[in-house]
Structure 1
Amino acid sequence: MERIQEALAKARAQRQQGSATRTEHAAPPKINPSVDDAWGALSPFKLNRALLKSHRVVAAETGRDAAPYDLLRTKIIHQAQMNNWRRVAIVSPDMGAGKSTTVANLAFSFERQRDMRVLCIDLDLRRPSLHKVLGQKSDHSMSDVLNGHVRFSEHGLRLGERVAFGLNNGPAPNPSELLLSQAARDTLEGIEQDYAPNLTLFDISPLNASDDNIAFLQNVDCAIIIAAAETTPIKRIDQAERQVAELTNVMGIVLNKCRYISDNDGYDYY
């Protein structure tokens, strides 16, 4: 607990010092031929629709099941553009809330959005699962990219023309220290310069799992908190909101794994 409190205090100070830097990140990216070439050179995503469906990546197909994620995508775009935010962390109070599944569905939803490019980076370096949800295998992890051992151009996967993934193949050693390092910050800024995304989504570790999220949340413009219906207590959601607000802006809270029938729309949401 003492370590977490010290990290929070340090993060608040760095957040105040770094506000100008995040404003610079928010500047609209300039697309040029070299950026187009960089995107085109990324390895293509290996699409397995049956596997995606079994992993609840329902937004891989358009239609009724994808509608909630398309709505969430549109709300993210609106909030990001209104506030000049470009780095969005996806976090949960506890494990099992479905944050990685949410990121995977948002990726496919964003791929259908014209005139936008989005990076989806898995920075849950202790128990990464985004690669499993997507059914992708990699020789390297984002920890190798952040350490400078591998270039993102050699590691990233491109979904269609507008979305790219930075995935993991297993846990990384010393994730908190890596995420706090200047080398990691410089690498992420270099990736954004090379690929000029309109938005970067970061899948980060649950708040109760470690201090990794404290190490990284200070580097984003905002965060979305994913809570599990009938599993995550209201008290935990309130605690998570306060903890995230200490480090960055709270874009919103998403209630996941929720089933209800809307009398107005006639939709079933899962």
Structure 2
Amino acid sequence: MEKLQAALEKARLKREGGPRANAPQATPQRTPRPRGTGATDVDALWSSIPSVALRDSALTRHRIVTRNAYEQATPFDILRTKILLQMQQHGWSRLAVTSPMPQCGKTTTACNLALGLGRQNNLRAMLFDMDLASPSVHEAFELEPRDSIKRFLTGEISFEEQATRIGENVVASMCPQVENDPTQVLLAERTVHILDEVQETYEPDIMIFDLPSVLKGDNTRAFLKNVDCALIIARAGVTRYGQFNTAEREIAEHTNVLGVVLNACGAGVGHGDVE
């Protein structure tokens, strides 16, 4: 536990030196548009995505606590604000959420961040379940995806046909089933172009990608080049020092390490460390 916390502190100090010199080019940030000033084409596009109602009982079962400004949402709200400030400072819009190994709470964190962002009326957020070998965003929300995310990423169907809107300003693109060869999708140039088209067309302020655990295969490495930064979720009592150290180093080779969350540390949901 002490070694893991020391590694987190080392990562924090490294981040204080600023973004890596060979980091990807920052994605220009869209200036948030005031709401209530009349519908735009983008407003209409978001409204055209079918919406669903989340059940409180389902969210409670899966520790999704940020749909409302309750006390238990506070740790995630703090994390959300730190992430937003850091990403806005650098002009970033694409965030990967990953972990060294499974069972660290990365999907729970990604879902809570998305719903927490949804409470900001001047922001629009998208959540993509890119853990195609072990998808779980639909389970966390207890929703049935409308269609396969693979069919959307390969261009067989449109984003509007596959995505689901949660509230006014959060859209989730979920994966209903395990894909046998995820890397084939994650490495494809078509996937890059389609995500670029979605960003250009729908103008989200932030795109969150729930990625596989780094040390469980090559799927995350295959995709990290497509994001501006990554948030690493470690879990007290589960993540080993060596696992965190290796994961942090490998992520830093492909994108900016935005920060680290040590989950399940003491009381509360977790402890966030985003500089």
TM-score (norm 1): 0.86
- 2:135 corresponds in structure 1 to 128
Letter in 2 for 1:104: C
Residue 130 (structure 1) shift: 0.8
Q: Deviations over 1:110-159 (max 9, x none)?
A: 11112111111111110001110111102412111101111111111112
Letter in 1 for 2:219: D
- 1:117 corresponds in structure 2 to 124
Q: Does the aligned pair in 2 maintain the 1:38–1:195 contact within 8 Å?
A: yes
Q: Does the aligned pair in 2 maintain the 1:131–1:137 contact within 8 Å?
A: yes
Rounded to whole Å, the distance in 1 between the matches of 2:154 and 2:259 is: 31
Aligned partner of residue 114 in structure 2, secondary structure? helix
Letter in 2 for 1:237: F
Letter in 2 for 1:75: K
Would you say how many aligned residue pairs link Structure 1 and Structure 2? Answer: 246
Counterpart pick for 1:59 among 57, 66, 73: 66
Is 2:220 aligned against 1:213? yes
Letter in 1 for 2:114: A
Rounded to whole Å, the distance in 1 between the matches of 2:90 and 2:146 is: 37
Counterpart pick for 1:137 among 144, 147, 154: 144
Deviates more, 1:183-192 or 1:106-115: 106-115
- 1:72 corresponds in structure 2 to 79
Letter in 2 for 1:28: R
Q: Does the aligned pair in 1 maintain the 2:95–2:227 contact within 8 Å?
A: yes
Which runs of no fewer than 5 residues in structure 2 stay unpaired?
1-19, 34-38, 271-275
Residue 18 (structure 1) shift: 9.1
Aligned partner of residue 236 in structure 1, secondary structure? helix
Aligned partner of residue 66 in structure 2, secondary structure? helix
Deviates more, 1:26-35 or 1:137-146: 26-35
Rounded to whole Å, the distance in 2 between the matches of 1:71 and 1:64 is: 12
Counterpart pick for 1:26 among 21, 28, 32: 28
Rounded to whole Å, the distance in 1 between the matches of 2:194 and 2:23 is: 17
Aligned partner of residue 75 in structure 1, secondary structure? helix
Rounded to whole Å, the distance in 1 between the matches of 2:269 and 2:142 is: 24
- 2:154 corresponds in structure 1 to 147
Q: Deviations over 1:74-111 (max 9, x none)?
A: 00100001111111000000011111111111111111
Rounded to whole Å, the distance in 1 between the matches of 2:67 and 2:237 is: 26
Q: Deviations over 1:44-85 (max 9, x none)?
A: 123111111011112233211000010010001000011111
Query: Following superposition of structure 1 onto structure 2, how do residues 117-196 of structure 1 map, counting pairs within 5 Å?
Result: 117-196=124-203
Rounded to whole Å, the distance in 2 between the matches of 1:177 and 1:169 is: 18
Q: Does the aligned pair in 2 maintain the 1:29–1:197 contact within 8 Å?
A: no
- 1:264 corresponds in structure 2 to none
- 1:246 corresponds in structure 2 to 253
Aligned partner of residue 226 in structure 2, secondary structure? coil
Aligned partner of residue 111 in structure 2, secondary structure? helix
- 1:257 corresponds in structure 2 to 264
Q: Does the aligned pair in 1 maintain the 2:145–2:164 contact within 8 Å?
A: no
Rounded to whole Å, the distance in 1 between the matches of 2:78 and 2:32 is: 27
Residue 175 (structure 1) shift: 1.1
Letter in 1 for 2:80: R
Q: Does the aligned pair in 1 maintain the 2:105–2:233 contact within 8 Å?
A: yes
Counterpart pick for 2:57 among 26, 35, 50: 50
Letter in 2 for 1:193: E
Percentage identity across aligned positions?
34
Residue 230 (structure 1) shift: 1.2
Rounded to whole Å, the distance in 2 between the matches of 1:69 and 1:189 is: 28
Which runs of no fewer than 5 residues in structure 1 stay unpaired?
1-14, 261-267
Residue 269 (structure 1) shift: 4.2
Residue 173 (structure 1) shift: 3.2
